[in-house]
Amino acid sequence: MRIPDSEYLRNDVERTSPELVARASGFAASILADVAGRRGTLHGRVRALSSAMRLAGPAITVEVRPGDNLMIHAAMAIAQPGDVLVIDGKGDQTCALMGEIMISQCMAIGLAGVVIDAAIRDSVEIQNLGFPVFSVGTNPNGPTKFVPGRVNYPISAGGIMVRPGDLVVADADGVFVGEREQVDTLLTLAQKKVDMETSRLRDIRSGQKLIPGWLPAALTAAGVLEKPVARE
């Protein structure tokens, strides 16, 4: 059954490509955030249900009214394998918007994970499923299912804008969202940063270069150290 387009829901999304998603999955959210200019991370209230959970995929965006999950069900009906549901639940923790049954459905669809700026329930059961879920916490209350929202429109989740098809990468440190058009460039920069950090860690662990080379210049620029006086 296909849910038709309407003023509340769009089926067609230009997604971050599977090839780019596969490359991105090899990077930590922190690396991607750094090379994106320390932008694109959701508020720390949106956290992994279990520290081992990781995900990467294109965003299917969902906007709901606090306490109502009707449009999450609509999004699940049109989502494709590999997608990540990113849900603007307004940070509400007065009830759960998803639980074991809906997460089991997400698994059966083949989704890559769920990022929800709201609460969930059945947390132990979901952890046992091993499906990646990032939320603001738990609440045993159930939701209503009758307030319209929107699917596959730009949303604000965790304090940042997320557009349909944008790249989502999440791990124990939190959730990063990268603009779809910038992903290829970000991944090139991410690999350079990983190479640099690998070299730095190698030096630290071998006892060499324990003081980073950039520190004196940074201290001078901040006014902590005096600038050298030029000799005439």
Distances (CA, A) of 118 to 72, 127, 177, 194: 12, 17, 17, 33
pLDDT of 171 strictly over 90: yes
Alpha-carbon distance 165 to 190, whole Å?
A: 20
Mean pLDDT of 212-230: 86
Residue 210: the pLDDT is 87
Examine the pLDDT at 231 and tell me if it is beyond 80.
Answer: no
Domain limits, the chain? 18-182
| Averaged pLDDT score across all residues of the chain | 95
Within a 10 A sphere around the Cβ of 2, how many other Cβ atoms?
7
With a cut of 60, say whether residue 117 has pLDDT above it: yes
Say what the pLDDT of residue 220 is: 93
Measured distance CA(190)–CA(32) in Å, rounded: 6
pLDDT at 79: 97
**Segments of 99-142 assigned E as strands:** 113-120, 133-135, 137-138
Task: Tell me the pLDDT band of 213, cut-offs 50, 70 and 90.
Answer: confident
| pLDDT greater than 80 at residue 232 | no
- CATH for 18-182? 3.50.30.40
Distance, in Å, from the CA atom of 126 to the CA atom of 216, rounded to the nearest integer, reads: 49
The model's pLDDT over 16-69, given as tens digits with 9 standing for 90+, comes to 999 999 999 999 999 999 999 999 999 999 999 999 999 999 999 999 999 999
Tell me how far apart the alpha carbons of residues 177 and 39 are, in angstroms, rounded to a whole number. 9
Q: How far apart are CA 117 and CA 86, in angstroms?
A: 8
Q: Write down the pLDDT at residue 42.
A: 98
Give the three-class secondary structure for 78. Answer: helix
pLDDT in tens, 71-115: 999 999 999 999 999 999 999 999 999 999 999 999 999 999 999
Q: Who has greater pLDDT, 120 or 2?
A: 120
Nearest to 9 by CA among 68, 83, 70: 70
Tell me the C-alpha distance between 28 and 172, whole Å: 9
Taking the model in full, what pTM does it have? 0.93
